[in-house]
Amino acid sequence: MPTIAARIELSPIQFCRIVRDLRRIAKEEGAVRWIKGGMYFFGSEVANLRLLAHHRKSDDARQGYSTNLGIHYFCLEMKNLTGEALECAANAEPGV
């Protein structure tokens, strides 16, 4: 019998922590967005390759170039998380 995975709502504080960690790993202040079940980091090619190297064992990590937006991106899919309109207030560090 297949297991049913619960979907967890991503809080603004959790989102800010993920933003902080992605930027620390990338060594760049790239834009981070939650888009349809994935955490997207938009920045330089080198920053995105740093993130991909850090998450190299994950099947849910990928990077590429968006010709639509004209920018490199890194995506980490988080299938069990949900969230809408998440953002860090003025790119502030989380208080925890």
Of 47, 55, 46, 80, the C-alpha closest to 32 is 47
Q: For residue range 9-57, what is the model confidence (pLDDT) as tens digits?
A: 888 888 889 999 999 999 999 999 988 888 999 999 999 999 999 999 9
- 16 sits in the region (left: phi over 0; alpha: psi -120 to 50; else beta) called alpha
Domain assignments of the chain as residue spans, ordered by start: 8-82
In the predicted structure, residue 85 carries a pLDDT above the cut 70: no
Q: Which residue has the higher pLDDT, 86 or 9?
A: 9
What per-residue confidence (pLDDT) applies to 49?
A: 96
pLDDT at 83: 73
Q: What is the CATH number of domain 8-82?
A: 3.90.1070
Residue 77's Cβ-count burial label (10 Å; 0-12, 13-18, 19+) is: middle
Which pLDDT belongs to residue 1?
52
